[in-house]
Structure 1
């Protein structure tokens, strides 16, 4: 079950009326400037109040960064905020020193300071970048952007469209509501917004075109159920990793930080809907142009498999989520804990030799859902009945009381964060780290 809907009717009805195009930057081996700075965005309808926010290179979301599989991305980051920050490259299997986690892989970049991020993007897929310092506020204020790594041989589509899903807690005049970091949000489901929108990299398609949609949930707390209208489509990838076979669409569910890639043929206006028991609210849409085409393609094909690690002998570990409102006591010293410990400690939760395989039993012993994210790796979600390997993910959603096993091959050396991507939960204790050497 999804958490109860908290967004008001006006917010959803207005959400599709002011679709914004993402700025796009072509990247290469030369250094790309990326500035974190205050920005102003028009989240509400045109004519309503604008919203002071944070962003990159003058906008929120920040520019869409596109590189080819195996290409080097070199970023000259500059912090023009009043507070320290850092950039995390979510889902990418990169060098640990480039992961962007203050206190674990680097120091936070002070106001006026800079940092050089330089790495090869080894795996094609849909990823994103975001602040990893005071992220419960900085990401909520808009400090994020999409990162797309294209295949050496991309699928045959007419358009490749990025779709960012987010919600914001706004006042009537468009200002961000105060109260970032309040204990009520942290102890419950997180900072839920009262206004939601799908932000699209393009806003027009033609009937008969085959398109790729890259859905990214950038919200700090909200789980988005999503239904699509106007497209005959299949799911082809989750969290940047291709499925073994394209999957029927149905209603999709994205926890914070999760991504879904969809490929399909346009049959009508493509609508991005938030289903509720009462009705489905439109978050955004792709309108139809005046140049319909006759579809000539066959079935939707599987994407190239890419990096799929082979598990070896398994080491068994248990990670229990504890705390929060209506939760039991735990031994940690904050609102949330893993296995009785809140926040990062000097010693890692577990240490692995390069290539080790671990089976984690994740137990959500709390009254709220959690999206558990592992940095630097993907892992297999295991079938609860058969134990067989399922989808490769970097973030897995566990509802209240749910248990799931995941299987990870630790083939990327370094110190890697493991945390809840409901970012208020992370800030108040639900995080730890593992070391691979």
Structure 2
């Protein structure tokens, strides 16, 4: 399933201007040269100082009466801890690593400054056991996001290290009777409740991934059963936090519509109008869906249909308390995506092929000696022992070659870009771009794919997907979010100056 190796506890709001703390040397060098962008918020934006720690604990992953799982990883001592804050807030995050090994914090989907993106060694040094790091995180976009490490992800995320972050839009006009979050995350456990070793296998890493042995939602093997007003409106937020599993999300309900992807609104699309009535999602992808409840005593069920038998994710039961009148279903539209838009008429196009690795793969010229990252080495703890994957015949560091590869592309701050991604492998790859919100323009295999905004898009075998975005300065990684694929080569980076 995942690598081989209080989310946020809010306190009183403080003024801006906290010290940067242990910002890594490469990031500082880039900042000094003017390569780090301002965070996009006004200097007097409201701030909130947060204490965040990563540590190990015991957790009842197999359910009541079953053995506890040791060495479960969590933020602030709470499995899949969640936290929310209003859009426009600047988070001042004091992070402490209480794990026995190094880690970082990546703010997945958040358009933050490059120095706080959490990628070792590109933006910071990995925070050692007992170490601290200070992050400054602007909440520029409303939506559904999450945090996770970006070092030994297969091991740490595989043992639970992930947290949820919901950013509320203070100007939102959509109204729901209930909000419910579903986190799809499996566990690689034995019958005694303890972690199976290894977490990553060569057979898994070189194919579709090493799957968990125990399916779960919201860290429980028992899907939630939730009461909601009959004929009422439920906002479902779903995250695939697994490092391997791809799902086909759908419902047996008569009325459900997709209203946001990766936290960003799209014109509502009824699930009946999607291919096969489902939305296919890979690791790290999120959706918001508007579910119209049936009548009193009736049920609406959410499923993963990408299984031999549909796998139940959650059940909603209509109750008379707060019951609404039956009425036509009109999905609620959220406010449009606020991220910078690409100018397609003047965009530069880049072609990328995701592929299997074959022998020496780093073909681009090395970084110049005077580049602050020229001598940066990737920690062997942060990556896999072997190389199986590549992007444009270039692989991320793995095994014994721990040199940082050259960038996949060099872009200019503010320019509009189109990435055309072709999957030349036999397996699907959810491709994630850090630091940006992109628009999905097209797919050669899914002509009716709705245009949507996101940070991760699934590219299936022999599929070409085009995305567009406006480049933001910094050094940003671009990788498959099947974590074993990333750990064994399918990651590169963009230099945007």
Please give the alpha-carbon distance, in whole angstroms, between the structure 2 residues aligned to 1:354 and 1:296: 51
Separation in 2, partners of 1:304, 1:42: 39
Please, which moves more after superposition, 67-76 or 328-337? 328-337
> Among residues 166, 188, 203, which one is paired with 2:207 in the alignment?
188
Instruction: Give the Cα separation in 2 of the matches to 1:243 and 1:141.
Output: 33
Q: Distance in 1 between matches of 2:67 and 2:188?
A: 14
TM-fit CA distance, 1:68: 0.7
Partner Cα separation in structure 2 for residue 130 and residue 303 of structure 1: 26
1:284 CA drift (Å): 3.2
Q: Is the 8 A contact 1:67 1:150 kept in 2?
A: yes
Determine whether 1:163 maps to 2:187. no
Contact between 2:293 and 2:300, CA under 8 Å: does it hold in 1? yes
Question: Computing the radius of gyration over CA atoms, which structure comes out larger, 1 or 2?
Answer: 2
Aligned CA RMSD, in angstroms, stands at 2.7
TM-aligned CA distance change 1:107 to 1:213, over 3 Å: same
In the alignment, what sits opposite 1:198?
217
1:371 partnered with 2:424: no
CA-CA distance at 1:334 after TM superposition:
2.0
2:105 to 71, 78, 87: 87
Match of 2:236 in 1: 213
* Aligned counterparts, 1:46-195, within 5 A: 46-52=64-70, 53-61=72-80, 63-154=81-172, 155-195=174-214
Query: Which of 391, 397, 411 is 2:458 aligned to?
Result: 397
Helix, strand or coil at the partner of 1:48: coil
1:23-42 pair list within 5 angstroms: 29-42=47-60
1:376-410 Cα offsets, whole Å, 9 max, x none, are 11212222468999211211111122222222221
Alpha-carbon spacing, 1:88–1:209, altered in 2? closer, same or farther (3 Å): same
Segments of structure 1 that go 5 or more residues without pairing to the other structure are 1-5, 7-21
Change (3 A) 1:270 1:195: farther
Aligned to 1:420: 480
Contact (CA 8 Å) 1:225, 1:251: kept in 2 or not?
yes
Q: TM-score, normalised by structure 1?
A: 0.87
Greater Cα offset, 421-430 or 199-208: 199-208
The answer as to whether partners of 1:26 and 1:67 remain within 8 angstroms in 2 is no
Q: How does 1:329-348 map to 2 (within 5 A)?
A: 331=361, 334-343=387-396, 345-348=404-407
User: Is the contact between residue 243 and residue 483 of structure 2 (CA under 8 Å) also seen in structure 1?
Assistant: yes
Q: What does residue 256 of structure 1 align with?
A: 283
Deviations 1:333-371 (A, max 9, x none): 821111111105453211111111222221111121111
Of the three residues 355, 375, 390, the one matched with 1:322 is 355
Verify the 8 A CA contact 2:110 2:145 in the aligned structure 1: yes
**Residue equivalent to 2:38:** none
Change (3 A) 1:334 1:363: same
Secondary structure of the 2:65 match is: coil
3-state SS of 2:255 partner: strand
Match in the other structure for 1:304: 335
Question: 1:348, 1:40 → 2: CA distance?
Answer: 41
Q: How many residues align?
A: 412
Alpha-carbon distance in 2 for matches of 1:178, 1:278: 26
What is the alpha-carbon distance in structure 2 between the residues aligned to residue 73 and residue 201 of structure 1? 31
Cα distance in 1, alignment partners of residues 481 and 465 from structure 2: 17
1:419 Cα deviation from its structure 2 partner = 0.5
Once the two structures are overlaid, the 10-residue window that deviates more, 252-261 or 337-346, is 337-346
